[in-house]
Amino acid sequence: MAPPHPANPPPPLEGKLRRIAMMTSGGDAPGMNAAIRAVVRMALEKGCEAYCIYEGYEGLVQGGSFIRKFDWEQVRGWLSEGGTLIGTARCMAFYERPGRLTAAKNMVLNGIDALIICGGDGSLTGADKFRAEWPSLIKELVDTKQLTAEQIEPFKHLNIVGLVGSIDNDMSGTDATIGCFSALGRICELVDYIEATASSHSRAFVIEVMGRHCGWLALMAGVATGADFVFIPEKPRAENWREEMCSIHRKIGKRKTIVIVAEGAADQDGNKISPEMIKDLLADKDGLALDTRITTLGHVQRGGSACAYDRQLATLQGVEAVNAVLDATPETPTPFIAINENKITRKPLVQAVLDTKEVSKAIEARDFDRAMKLRDTEFSDMYNSYMTTTATQLNQSMKLPSRRHMRIAIIHVGAPAGGVNAATRAAVAYCFTRGHTPIAIHNGFAGLARHHDDQPVGAVREFDWLEVDGWASKGGSEIGMNRETPGESGMEHIASLFAKYKFDGLFIIGGFEAFQSLSQLRQAQEKYSSLCIPMTLLPATISNNVPGTEYSIGSDTCLNELVRYCDTIKQSASASRRRVFVIETQGGRSGYVATLAGLAVGAVAVYTPEEGISIAMLAADIAHLKKAFQQDSGQSRAGRLILINEKASKVYNAKLIADMIREEAHERFESRDSIPGHVQQGGTPSPMDRTRAVRLAIKCIEHLENYEDRSDATILKDPQTCTVIGIKGASVVFSPMKEVEEKETDWPNRRPKDEFWVELKHIVDILSGRPEVPRPESSLKGWKAKDRKRGLI
């Protein structure tokens, strides 16, 4: 039995400060614990009191021990935990007014006047209704003498903020919900395993994934794994899908067939399409007679630790939720925290829920065009990308007139990054679909410059579809990457080879060397006519340091690998109770990887090239560690991590810092250094890198197609003929290279001048409890304590 409620609520906090309660409701999703941690610690940082409500709305109705005050240490180690550690449960009592009346009473008795809820659209709808009823609920509690007028005086208004936790990613108005990319990662991992056995035995596999009313998981898994067929609720396949499946299958010599079905998939008449139905079709002896198996992934999709992106998303949204609570007035509509492309935003909750329900209504009414329009832009882009890359050489209606066909060269420049092969596969597929000739340049500009026509395998050759069809999940670069730029290879020689092979367009995939290469080619266009062709760059580097974009292909894969590595190291640090690990990250002269990994693993400190390292900073951090271990009671999860970028300092490296900590610890705790090195480049690319690679690569080839008039004058005059594609804030944009070179690039440090993530470093410090430390003289201009809080997400 729960202990009795307090007789009176605690006195209200002064000013705008709140007692903020955090609750998870509905289903569980990986990343919810990261959101709880962020809300608790940010609330405490702002001077508020933090509470957690156990078992969702059930705990709110039950009260007593289900509503608990939290302190800083209680959420240590929660970032790497799956599910939700404060529990979630369905509560029928809250659906009725008496249940909500009891919940309101419990909140007043605990002095809580703000509620942050992480759940699906049903849970958030209930929260908004609770807020709307709040004044009448409070009045009823006084009228029935359950509370006095004095008790409810400070609690006449309730502030509520929603965070969307759902693996289905079914909430309108946001590109991603907490947990969706972790679930997608689980699906892609399992489909990759299934593909191997399907190819070995020349089998077909029908894989059912979650998604009763939303096909996001099925669609993205189809894009990321290169599945042959995808069935989703929003866009049923054509009426003749059975004939289409039979006619397309293995026409071009494939050994396997992978079909991904969302659990809510139906045909155009609203009839459910089940995995068994598809299996029967593929295995029909009078048809394809394929050895076909069904795999239902089930709840394995929800389990496990959150991926790096979900931890970051949940953390940043949790921080923004606390800020939204403190900014709210009684007139402010209930917001939920969304993300669009790369920008965290607040949006009206009621409208998002209505839009979400409209999708289901459109599907039920079989108005599928409307259902697709109600999904976000990325969903539609991904669907079109998927259909384009699977219609290769089969959908003749998508081919352009022969006069518009182009010879498009594809080259990889720089170091390997996850998603490069997926981007290449998508570009090649799109070229074949439109009638273009995709041409592979092997081993970058060095391979192009040094090849000989009499070599068995030329450095320049046309792609074959069967060759690239299996590249969706491959890491590294199948055509080879090289850091050499055309200027180093000899621009005149490179220009002569462009003329020899009659390139009509150039698609470059790579990191800062690729950016540098495109800059050199652009500047040489006035001198060499053969270089007067449309060119575009898709940034791909684990360092995420290419100007013109806030996201580079490969950076998500790197962060996932680094987070897994750090989780394992932290387990060792925690097991020994009193150990610090100093981990060196890659990233060149950009601290992006170190900072975002620090956000995802809860690093005590992060050292970056942008800020630098000083002896005073190290002394302050060591003093903080000594104090932390002195106060530590020896409980679990006591291990601590420090992340240092490989170029953060010319003097202080991971080993030296670990040695300094060990020396100053005087055997009261230990320290070790660890260098993951090229492990960070990753093996299998992450689903985010795969899907974004496909989407952006197709946009790049579409952009090149715009320049049918490939005269020298047109190319030299129009700055959009030489571009870098990128995500900036809430948009995908093509930025002219000339403008990016001159205005956005810090050439000596090989990074953008304005790095959007720099402000996030302050959040890492806040949530890890790092005190204010002395900043090196080499820090970014204007880096002061008051400035660092500017732009907190």
Q: Catalytic site residues?
A: 168
555 is annotated as contributing to ligand binding: no
403 is annotated as contributing to ligand binding: no
121 is annotated as contributing to ligand binding: yes
Number of Cβ within a 10 Å radius of residue 603: 26
Encoded tokens for 221: 């898994």
Q: Which of 78, 1, 44, 35 is nearest to 570 (CA)?
A: 78
Q: Which residues of 132-150 are buried (b: 16+ CB within 10 A; e: fewer)?
A: ebbeebbebbeeeebbeee
300 is annotated as contributing to ligand binding: yes
Cα separations (Å) of 702 from 507, 534, 729? Answer: 11, 11, 22
541 is annotated as contributing to ligand binding: yes
255 is annotated as contributing to ligand binding: no
Distance CA 272, CA 67 (A): 43
722 is annotated as contributing to ligand binding: no
436 is annotated as contributing to ligand binding: no
Give the pairing type, strands 257-262 and 460-462: unpaired
Angle at 117 between CA 113 and CA 121, to 5 degrees: 130
646 is annotated as contributing to ligand binding: yes
Amino acid making up residue 482: N
Q: Helices 349-364 and 121-143 meet at what angle, rounded to 10?
A: 130
DSSP E strand boundaries for 28-102? 49-53, 67-70
Q: Answer whether 326's CB lies under 8 Å from 113's CB.
A: no
561 is annotated as contributing to ligand binding: no
27 is annotated as contributing to ligand binding: yes
Dihedral sign of CA atoms 539, 542, 547, 550 in order: positive
Distance CA 4, CA 23 (A): 21
750 is annotated as contributing to ligand binding: yes
164 is annotated as contributing to ligand binding: no
509 is annotated as contributing to ligand binding: no
700 is annotated as contributing to ligand binding: no
| Strand order through the sheet with 579-585 | 605-607, 640-645, 579-585, 670-674
680 is annotated as contributing to ligand binding: yes
310 is annotated as contributing to ligand binding: no
Query: Residue 597: in which H helix or E strand, if any?
Result: helix 592-601
681 is annotated as contributing to ligand binding: yes
For tokens 């605990």, what's the residue?
110
Dihedral sign of CA atoms 69, 72, 77, 83 in order: positive
83 is annotated as contributing to ligand binding: no
Query: Residue 19: in which H helix or E strand, if any?
Result: strand 19-24
545 is annotated as contributing to ligand binding: yes
709 is annotated as contributing to ligand binding: no
327 is annotated as contributing to ligand binding: no
571 is annotated as contributing to ligand binding: no
Distance CA 712, CA 95 (A): 69
Number of Cβ within a 10 Å radius of residue 328: 21
Beta bridge partners of 272: 266
Torsions phi, psi for 708 (to 5 deg): -65, -40
Query: Residue 231: in which H helix or E strand, if any?
Result: strand 229-231
777 is annotated as contributing to ligand binding: no
210 is annotated as contributing to ligand binding: yes
Contacts 24+ apart (CB under 8 A), 154-158: 154/9, 154/12, 154/111, 154/113, 155/9, 155/12, 155/107, 155/108, 155/111, 155/113, 157/113, 157/330, 158/107, 158/113, 158/114, 158/115, 158/130, 158/131, 158/134
302 is annotated as contributing to ligand binding: yes
Report how far apart the first and last C-alpha atoms of the chain are (Å, whole number).
41
62 is annotated as contributing to ligand binding: no
Q: CB within 8 A of 754, min separation 6: which ones?
A: 744
579 is annotated as contributing to ligand binding: yes
588 is annotated as contributing to ligand binding: yes
690 is annotated as contributing to ligand binding: no
Binding residues, by number, are 27, 90-91, 120-123, 166-168, 203, 210-212, 263, 293, 299-302, 483, 541-545, 579, 586-588, 646, 672, 678-681, 750
Which residues contribute to the annotated binding site for ATP? 27, 90-91, 120-123
Output the known binding site for beta-D-fructose 2,6-bisphosphate. 483, 541-545, 579, 586-588, 646, 672, 678-681, 750
Binding-site residues for Mg(2+): 121
Which residues line the annotated binding site for substrate? Answer: 166-168, 203, 210-212, 263, 293, 299-302
